A and B are shown apart, each in its own frame.
Chain A
Amino acid sequence: MNLWQSVLIIIGMFAVTFGVRFALFARADKVVMPAFIEKALKFVPVAVLTAIITPMTLMPNQHMDLSLSNPWLLGAFAAFVVGIWRQHQLLTILVGVLVFFVAKYGFSL
């Protein structure tokens, strides 16, 4: 790969990445989101974040692992229960991370 190709790749990747992120912000003062779109958008955080972490949690090695020896599943389950129960973000993170690392390293010591 020569210098010219490297520069083209970076310019191209920058253009599409920034384009996707900025396109709506560029016209933010002019676009009026229809009410039904706004109603749908409130589901974006739950939908996208869930779609990111579910495969990481249930398929940590690219295949389904619902066993108790899967620290991702145990940590995520603990975090989820604490999150529903206490609604406290820092506590949710701490308990989840603790359970994850105990499951991952504690049992093997």
Chain B
Amino acid sequence: MNTMQHMRRGAVASIPMIIGGIPFGLLFGSLASSYGLSPWFAVAMSAFVFAGSAQFVALGLIALHAPIWVIVSTTFIVNLRHLLYAADLVKFVKHLPMPMRVIMGFGLTDETYAAVRPMYEVGSADENNGHKAYLGSFLSFYIMWNVTTVLGVLSGELIPGMSDWGLEFAMVATFIGIITPYLKHKAFWLCLLSAGVSSIVLSGLPNNLGLLVSAVIGVAMGFVSDSSNKTISKSETSMQEVSK
């Protein structure tokens, strides 16, 4: 397969989430113009920041006349979960040249991580082609996000009530399709349950903090369950050896 074909694979894996993202891009653009912000401000934010939920949070803070340092530090907290993705992907990008890593870092979103990470898991992406699939996913999201932002700014509410249609359910279904193949071991079930319960319990926390804390709890619970399993099987083996 050539580069284009790998990029297309990444883009195709992203299609459901791209459809789910369209109403959000339109909403972001129209919300920004309804707050009386310059059209260029919304367009530049989507082009340079490229972080869906953080952009919405920033709009809300700007509407409240929050100081710039509050907007920037809130953005930092909202996006902190991407550090987990980056840590997980380090092993797949370490051989790549710096410019490629810069582009991949810029494009590291929930959606592209969700689209491309499972490809490495099942072996349909490796160190020779994984970054190409990643670029295809990133570019298709980047184009969608910026085009819909411009359309939203230009048109106000392009199609009234489109954000109530429920298109973002496509993202939920995609994430479930990504999660379920992992659920073959107890540790992953425990990870799922603890992250899910925590995210409900902590849903009142501001700025995605509930999401961040729940993710860390899920990772920790999975890890602990995994390690204690290993310890048990090790001690079982050593007991068997003793009984021999």
Contacts and interface: CB of A to CB of B under 8 A. Distances in A.
Whether chains A and B associate is yes
B203 interface: yes
Contacts of B117: 45
- Which of A17, A37, A43 is packed against the most chain B CB atoms within 10 Å? A43
Interface stretch (B141-149, B153-161, B179-187, B235-243): B179-187
B166 A100 contact: yes
B71 A12 contact: yes
B175 A52 contact: yes
Interface residues of B, number: 90
Interface of B: 16, 37-38, 41, 44-45, 48-51, 54-55, 58, 62, 68-69, 71-73, 75-76, 79-91, 93-96, 98, 101-102, 104-106, 108, 110, 113-114, 117-118, 166, 168-183, 187-188, 191-192, 195-196, 198-200, 203, 210-211, 214-220, 222-223, 226-227
Contacts of B219: 40-41, 43-44, 47
Given A87-B181, A92-B173, A92-B176, A50 B196 contact: yes
A54 B196 contact: yes
18 contacts: A9-B68, A10-B41, A16-B73, A21-B82, A23-B83, A45-B88, A46-B183, A47-B215, A48-B81, A48-B85, A48-B195, A50-B196, A50-B214, A55-B200, A58-B200, A83-B177, A100-B166, A104-B166
Contact of A59 (B73, B114, B170, B200): B200
B177 A93 contact: yes
Interface in A44-92: 44-59, 62, 64, 71-72, 75-76, 79-80, 83-84, 87, 89-90, 92
Given A51-B215, A76-B172, A40 B220 contact: yes
Given A43-B218, A53-B176, A83-B177, 5 more contacts: A10-B44, A12-B68, A17-B49, A39-B223, A101-B166
Contact of B106 (A18, A51, A57, A79): A18
Contacts of A96: 169, 172-173, 176-177
A91 B73 CA distance: 40
A109 interface: no
A22 B102 contact: yes
Given A16-B79, A25-B93, A49 B211 contact: no
Contacts of B84: 41, 44, 48
A96 B220 CA distance: 29
Given A10-B48, A38-B91, A43-B223, A80 B75 contact: no
A46 B182 contact: yes
Given A46-B218, A47-B214, A49-B175, A54 B90 contact: no
A83 B192 CA distance: 14
Contacts of B227: 39
Contacts of A75: 169, 172-173
